[in-house]
Amino acid sequence: MNEPRLTLNSITITAPDPRALAEFYGALLDRPVNRSEGPLPGEPANAGFAQVRAPEGDGPTLNFEYERHWQRPVWPAVPGRTHATQHLDIEVEDLDAAVEHAIGQGATLAEEQPQATVRVLFDPAGHPFCLFL
């Protein structure tokens, strides 16, 4: 029996303001927000959907969806609190310059740093992400 071909196409991230978070990641990764939709009827103004599409062959597309009951995750995990169950790993050539760029776009540096060649940061919604050499 032949195995079906499966291809990772996109990663969807929930957020309290998906269009603003897409703008953050678009600026961070130097990619345009190629799709942005406002809220559905009855949703708040910050609701909606947005997408940052990767150039062909350059990683998955990032989708951002509104989460009505958003709770900012904590990292590292703390018992009884919402914790991050996944994060983005972003390879960089110059760690210090990449951290400075990310902070300039609105990220914050985590207090705890687990490795010398990795920096953990938080996006504006509180999702952790890693920059690594």
Say if CB 114 and CB 120 are below 8 A apart. yes
Nearest of 93, 98, 23, 19 to residue 129 by alpha carbon: 98
Residues with Cβ within 8 Å of residue 20, at least 6 apart in sequence: 46, 124
Q: What is the pLDDT of residue 34?
A: 95
Fold for the domain defined by 88-132: 2,3-Dihydroxybiphenyl 1,2-Dioxygenase; domain 1 (3.10.180)
Predicted structure pTM score: 0.93
10-66 is classed in which CATH architecture? 2-Layer Sandwich (3.30)
Q: pLDDT of 13-54, one tens digit each?
A: 999 999 999 999 999 999 999 999 999 999 999 999 999 998
Q: Which residue has the tokens 């992400």?
A: 129
Q: pLDDT of 55-109, one tens digit each?
A: 887 889 999 999 999 999 999 999 999 999 999 999 999 999 999 999 999 999 9
Domain ranges for the chain: 10-66, 88-132
Q: What is the pLDDT of residue 1?
A: 78
